[in-house]
Amino acid sequence: MLNEVDMFKAIKWPEEMAPSRSPIHFTNELEVVASPERIWSLLVNPTVWPSFYPGVKLVQLHDGHESLRLGTRFKTNLAGQDVFASVQEFKPMTHIVWGGYPKVSEESKAYHAWIITPTPNSCHLWTEETMQGPHWIELAKKAPDAFWRTHEKLLHDLAKVATERGGSRT
């Protein structure tokens, strides 16, 4: 399994979105008794996101794509915000990253990475995000750990959906 330094290096942080330059930066991780393939299939299929992604009711893919892949642009509602994003990194079964901004504030950016590492009977999920700009900062002032808590719930809900749908390696 990758250690924290390797996780950081696996993400190709744009210089302006690097954790050291972002006022909001958090990580969440969880061991899940589901195959990396099962987790991957859920992450790249946004039609199932409402079953595990807090607050997501609909994801609209652009560019004629039916699932996420490198360059896919999409619109959704995350953290109570209408968000426009695109897939910035894409390594099948192991890692996907999207970056975007809320409709109300294009200068407020976010960069969200997922890393899936196989383990003997399951996989390890790591998600890391940086956020910057006035809109995200104002939301964080109101509830400093809200983004971290939302991602913690996201990981647990994703794990639940993955295991209920028979994603175990055993």
User: 110 vs 81, which has greater pLDDT?
Assistant: 110
Q: What is the pLDDT of residue 3?
A: 52
Q: What is the pLDDT of residue 65?
A: 87
What percentage of the chain reaches a pLDDT higher than 90? 80
Pairing verdict, β 59-61 and 73-78: antiparallel
Q: What is the pLDDT of residue 170?
A: 41
Listed residue (124, 100, 99) closest to 113, CA to CA: 99
Name the superfamily (CATH) of residues 4-164: START domain (3.30.530.20)
Q: What is the pLDDT of residue 149?
A: 93
Q: What is the pLDDT of residue 76?
A: 93
Q: What is the pLDDT of residue 14?
A: 95
Q: What is the pLDDT of residue 10?
A: 84
Look at residue 166 and tell me whether its pLDDT is greater than 70. no
Q: What is the pLDDT of residue 109?
A: 96
Contact between 42 and 48 under an 8 Å Cβ cutoff? The reply is yes
Look at residue 26 and tell me whether its pLDDT is greater than 70. yes
Contact between 107 and 134 under an 8 Å Cβ cutoff? The reply is yes
| Cα Dmax for the chain | 46
Contact between 43 and 103 under an 8 Å Cβ cutoff? The reply is no
pLDDT digit string, tens, across residues 81-108: 899 999 999 999 999 999 999 999 999 9
Helix (H) or strand (E) holding 41: helix 36-43
How far out from the chain centre does Cα 129 lie? 8
Helix (H, G, I), strand (E, B) or coil at 161: helix
**For all residues of the chain together, what is the average pLDDT?**
90
Distance CA 60, CA 159 (A): 23
Distance CA 135, CA 156 (A): 27
